[in-house]
Structure 1
């Protein structure tokens, strides 16, 4: 492309609204097999940013109109006016950076308006998890047999709830003690072994609890032929309320509990990473807990 052609191309690009580029960016993510949850999060963030900019400029905003100061003001508004936590503000910044990285690669702009902005310092919070004693107490209190099995399954496999509920009958090989996760995060595949504790639970579920219906889903209810994550979390909420627990237990907390209990039993973090399906070891390291007793034992070694 000559300098003149590039100039004409740049002028054409400059006349395209920011909202159009948002749609193109989301299409690009879909083409890369990015998970629906990630795309949905980016879409929500970018639409909020676009609304802020259109209100500020009183009309449709072009990509080249956006300045670093605009983005800083937007993030400050999230923090001060909307009272967003630092981690949530940083997520919006991360979305902006991902968009601009993509936009520069596609030659939509040569200005990375989000690059000069520093993330806020976010305090690291210890994540909630349940130990084996709490797990048994929770399971005994669940009345719904299918949801009880799902909770047991999540605690002993560490699967994401979407991965769990999308499993087919063919994916769960009880005879060979293997779960084949076909559509993990980023559409990655992995195999997760079925433990000796989980195997009889799954056999009982398949032979006795699971309704005889045409659905291919491993976890299925008679009415719908599937189970929703909302329903599983609802039963968890109802059960913890019945037990009088102050801890908020969700499907994701069960995944975290799986990882945390493996760490307590000295399983190597790389093995935990593979079981959880994390592409980056940094993500797995967030699941590593150190309670006071463990810290006391650690210093006693010296």
Structure 2
């Protein structure tokens, strides 16, 4: 069987078991890159059974030489293991060579984050009102950019002060309370900024031209604002989510509460996710 045929079956399987669109899209992209590499290397279409561990190791080295991050390379390992696990189970091939691929050691780096004061300065340099509200919402809810993009009008209950995240990462639902700072921001957006007459869509966040928002556009405007301010920080939509958790921790919220708000599967993920200020750590040590 051709590698591309096996990949097609695998992607259909992922859809059948209700994996998210983002997950299927990501797997398709990574396996497509691998297929392109193999096709160039072997000068033509490649059969699944002909792919050896050496091919995978050579591909991983190729990614390293192209300066791909450790996180990206580890994602490739995970995707290949998942694909070959499926292929062996369905008897499309005999051996799961990907099981022998070594994960790449990741050096954990301190993430950038922003405070409430910095948020106010930042949004004063975001001139698109819809995106400005998206940025404020992510900072005050910890929502993912994909969750903001998929948010429907019916999911934002301003009366009961709660946002319903429907099928977030891992297809999990969760509710996020709308705090006293965010509530007037969302009320003003819905009543005065969102163009209800000229936007025929049920997305809560919608730009007239597209009827929705995109992660690329949000991140582009964030970068432009940071550059304009001359900050030595890398601020993205994901950093806003990270900042939400970090600021809650700094104000005394429990890890369990932050975990539930962020929608993490376990506390280990949450604890890795948060910025630990060195002064705060020193204070903790000195309590003894």
Q: Same fold (TM over 0.5)?
A: yes
Aligned match of 1:3: none
- Matches of residues 8-47 of structure 1 in structure 2 within 5 Å? 16-47=1-32
Aligned match of 1:102: 86
1:104 Cα deviation (Å)? 2.1
Q: Measured at CA, do residues 61 and 184 of structure 1 come closer, stay the same or move farther in structure 2, by a change above 3 Å?
A: same
Does the CA-based 8 Å contact 1:240-1:249 persist in structure 2? yes
Does the CA-based 8 Å contact 1:262-1:272 persist in structure 2? yes
Query: Is 1:222 matched with 2:208?
Result: yes
1:99 Cα deviation (Å)? 0.8
Does the CA-based 8 Å contact 2:242-2:274 persist in structure 1? no
Does the CA-based 8 Å contact 2:56-2:98 persist in structure 1? yes
Structure 1 consecutive aligned stretches of length 4 or more whose deviation exceeds 6 Å: none
Aligned match of 1:142: 126
Moved more, 120-129 or 81-90: 81-90
Moved more, 254-263 or 272-281: 272-281
1:268 Cα deviation (Å)? 2.0
RMSD across aligned positions (CA): 1.8
**Cα deviation code 1:76-120 (max 9, x no counterpart):** 2221x3232332222211111111111122222331101122212
SS of corresponding position for 1:141: coil
Task: Give the whole-Å Cα distance in 2 for the aligned partners of 1:144 and 1:54.
Answer: 44
Does the CA-based 8 Å contact 1:138-1:240 persist in structure 2? yes
Q: Measured at CA, do residues 217 and 242 of structure 1 come closer, stay the same or move farther in structure 2, by a change above 3 Å?
A: same
Q: Measured at CA, do residues 178 and 122 of structure 1 come closer, stay the same or move farther in structure 2, by a change above 3 Å?
A: same
Query: Is 1:122 matched with 2:99?
Result: no
1:224 Cα deviation (Å)? 3.3
Does the CA-based 8 Å contact 1:180-1:189 persist in structure 2? yes
Does the CA-based 8 Å contact 1:33-1:186 persist in structure 2? no
Aligned match of 1:112: 96
1:53 Cα deviation (Å)? 2.5
SS of corresponding position for 1:230: helix
Query: Any unmatched runs of 5+ in structure 2?
Result: none
Query: Is 1:83 matched with 2:39?
Result: no
Query: Is 1:156 matched with 2:133?
Result: no
Task: Give the whole-Å Cα distance in 1 for the aligned partners of 2:196 and 2:106.
Answer: 49
Query: Is 1:93 matched with 2:77?
Result: yes
Larger radius of gyration between Structure 1 and Structure 2 = 1
Does the CA-based 8 Å contact 1:263-1:289 persist in structure 2? no
Query: Any unmatched runs of 5+ in structure 1?
Result: 1-15
Q: Measured at CA, do residues 138 and 106 of structure 1 come closer, stay the same or move farther in structure 2, by a change above 3 Å?
A: same
Task: Give the whole-Å Cα distance in 2 for the aligned partners of 1:142 and 1:57.
Answer: 49
Aligned match of 1:279: 265
One of 49, 55, 61 as aligned partner of 1:70: 55
Count matched residues.
286
Does the CA-based 8 Å contact 1:103-1:109 persist in structure 2? yes
Q: Measured at CA, do residues 77 and 181 of structure 1 come closer, stay the same or move farther in structure 2, by a change above 3 Å?
A: same
TM-score, normalised with respect to structure 1: 0.88
Task: Give the whole-Å Cα distance in 1 for the aligned partners of 2:160 and 2:58.
Answer: 56
Aligned match of 2:240: 254
